[in-house]
Structure 1
């Protein structure tokens, strides 16, 4: 039994949690299933894998800048992060140590659901979020049911996550098609709830053609802002330098010294903005590189292994479609969160921590989805919504996860809150029942199957109607 568990944990740690390897294996399987020539299999697999590595390098570069930005902003507003008796590391060393098993069995069940139900369609391939959502669900189950043994934690967590990974790309699919203009791939990301709010909430705010962020008319002297790399460097540079004016000198000096001990803090601030913009440019190049391989390669998976399936991919895959909207959403969500930081501090409610990585990805994604339905007005709306969700989510979530890993509240995307809080609400009455924890996966799985069956019937209905009309016409 221990040997089997070790194998499962090894696979979870070295395949599911390693995005380049996961994407490379999927591409390899797809190309082999299509019986491509050896040179095409080797070349396509390596290009897809390298593309993901390039994407991750870009993310590492600009998220490093975001981390420094977060420290500077926190110092500028004079707030210290909240403290707690329990930590994420403590949880991962305890009940959270079962997370690799949850990932492995949950992903297997997810593949089974996609294989059995044609309406499921999307295979969830965002590796790092397989891990983080598993942590969220495991912590939520412990908060809701108290001490949970290993078997129920793994089984219940696997079922809940398999259902989430199956349904999440589906509920965002209609809006996703509007953003990227195709249904060749879906979105597998924990910003989906706020993207839904941005897409459907912004519909009446503007016209997607007339107000499209990518078609904004600027004076000739400001036309350089249409280049997202240039505009990113300038905007982030101004924000960084202004924040440094109000931040503690020692904090600024520490961040600059981590980059180069001999550099002036002001020169470092400007270079940090340039590195942020460079990271975005590298990320976008990596996205284009691996999309060019994974989408056609996945046809082999769709034809031979999991019929009619499509890959559901990480949120940066939408950024090349509307890079200006991404920046608008990021700036709107950051401004909203900073205002909430001031409001919360003034009222004494809670000390908010600016989660710059979540502000960028969540705000950028919400900006792109808002832009798809209402142009720049929708992008601003999406960013504002994300800012409110992250601000109030931190405040509420810190208390809800106080006995396990309160830091999850400050690292979260919108789906972390939505899934976690729904599980807690369902777990409260079930925890009072003998064996109540086993009722939870039965409810979640039954609801998921019901949704997939309903979607399948709805998708078949137009085909059946067409076939009936054709038969009637042939009879005549």
Structure 2
């Protein structure tokens, strides 16, 4: 048993939590199953891996700026982050050490569900979020059932995470098809709650028309038309925000973030903003290169091993579709969160920490999905939704995880709150049943998941077989990857580790 645990832990740590390796193995297997020539297998696999590495490098470049920005903004408004007696590192060294096993066992259950049920057609491949969502579920179980046996924690956690991986791409699939104009891949990301609220909320509120108000077709006065270039607008906007924050922040905090740089603070802030813009450009290039290889490569797995399946991928895969909407969502999300931060501080409710990484990826998600339904107005709405969810979610969740990993509240995407609160709520209701309670939660979740998949299968609804109409005004997606039966392109057009730099 101990040997098996060591093997599963090694697989989780060295494959699932290492996104380039995971994607490389998927691409390799897919190309081999298609019996492609040796040179095509090597080239396709390497290009897929390099695309992921480029994407990751882009993320690391601008995430580094976001972390510094977060500290400087907090200092500028005169707030100190909350403290806790327990830490995430303590949890991972204790009960949380079961997380790699939860990932490995859970992925096996996920693949089984995908193989058995025709309606389950997405294989979740966002490796770093496998790690983080497994931590959320494990911490939620331990918070309610403090003395839960390790075996119970592993099996119950694996069932819960497998059900989430199976269902999450499905509930966002209609909006994903509307956004992308095709269904060659799905979304596997823990901002799906924002996507749903941004898309369906924009439609319910009738905020606008995707054709008329498309953020990518905004008409700007000639003097500020440069804002249409996403690289220019990002650099200018972030530069203004960063320099303004530096002006009001504590000199000691700014000096600490500058890490011995000999530049003047304003020059350093400008440099960070330019690096942020460069990181976005690198990320988008990596996304295009990665998609150009993984989608056709995955066809081998879809044809031979898991019939009809498609990969569910990280949130940056949708950013090239509407980069202006990404920036609109990020900015509106940030503004709303900062307003909430001021309100919370004034009322004495809680000291919010500005989670810039989650504001960017979640705001970008809300922006693109809101834009797909209601144009730039929907993009603003999506960002507002993300900012509100992160603010109130952080406030509520900090105390809920005070015995395990309260930092999860400040690192969270909205799905973390949704899933974690459901597990905590169910656990508190069933706690009087003792040791049987975790198993009841797992059993009930599995039954509901299977029931949903059976209903979808019996309806015969093509969960992924036919694309929904593209957003009004959207042409055939020029940034979409090659069709699944097309040869891999040789060139592209112009995992989150514990510190969570590769988040989204």
TM class, shorter-length: over 0.9
Following superposition, the deviation at residue 279 of structure 1 comes to 0.3
Structure 1's 104 and 461: CA in aligned 2 closer, same or farther, altered over 3 A? closer
Alignment of 1:365 with 2:356, yes or no, is no
Residue in structure 1 matched with residue 249 of structure 2 by the alignment: 247
**Count of paired positions:** 460
Q: Structure 2: how far apart are the matches of 1:261 and 1:71? A: 17
Q: Structure 1: how far apart are the matches of 2:462 and 2:332? A: 42
Give CA-to-partner distance per residue, 1:433-466, whole Å, 9 cap, x none.
042221111100000000000111112599xxxx
Q: Which blocks of at least 5 consecutive residues in structure 2 are unaligned?
A: 464-504
Following superposition, the deviation at residue 141 of structure 1 comes to 0.3
Partner-residue secondary structure (3-state), 1:6: helix
Residue in structure 2 matched with residue 474 of structure 1 by the alignment: none
Q: Structure 2: how far apart are the matches of 1:451 and 1:39? A: 43
Q: Structure 1: how far apart are the matches of 2:305 and 2:462? A: 25
Structure 1's 461 and 360: CA in aligned 2 closer, same or farther, altered over 3 A? closer
Structure 1's 225 and 194: CA in aligned 2 closer, same or farther, altered over 3 A? same
326-335 or 453-462, which deviates more:
453-462
CA RMSD of aligned residues (A): 1.0
Residue in structure 2 matched with residue 216 of structure 1 by the alignment: 218
Partner-residue secondary structure (3-state), 1:27: helix
Following superposition, the deviation at residue 392 of structure 1 comes to 0.3
Q: Structure 2: how far apart are the matches of 1:393 and 1:11? A: 32
Following superposition, the deviation at residue 112 of structure 1 comes to 0.6
Partner-residue secondary structure (3-state), 2:132: helix
Partner-residue secondary structure (3-state), 1:26: helix
Q: Structure 2: how far apart are the matches of 1:354 and 1:261? A: 24
Q: Structure 1: how far apart are the matches of 2:163 and 2:462? A: 25
Alignment of 1:71-470 (within 5 A): 71-203=71-203, 204-256=206-258, 258=259, 261-434=261-434, 435-459=436-460
Structure with max Cα Rg: 1
- The normalised TM-score by structure 2 is 0.90
Q: Structure 1: how far apart are the matches of 2:335 and 2:128? A: 27
- Structure 1 or 2: more helix by fraction: 1
Partner-residue secondary structure (3-state), 2:311: strand
- The normalised TM-score by structure 1 is 0.96
Residue in structure 2 matched with residue 38 of structure 1 by the alignment: 38
Q: Which blocks of at least 5 consecutive residues in structure 1 are unaligned?
A: 463-476
Following superposition, the deviation at residue 153 of structure 1 comes to 0.0
Give CA-to-partner distance per residue, 1:151-201, whole Å, 9 cap, x none.
000000000000000000000000011111110000000000111001000
Partner-residue secondary structure (3-state), 2:153: helix
Structure 1's 365 and 21: CA in aligned 2 closer, same or farther, altered over 3 A? same
Structure 1's 450 and 234: CA in aligned 2 closer, same or farther, altered over 3 A? same
Q: Structure 2: how far apart are the matches of 1:403 and 1:77? A: 29
299-308 or 213-222, which deviates more:
213-222
Residue in structure 2 matched with residue 18 of structure 1 by the alignment: 18
Following superposition, the deviation at residue 429 of structure 1 comes to 2.1
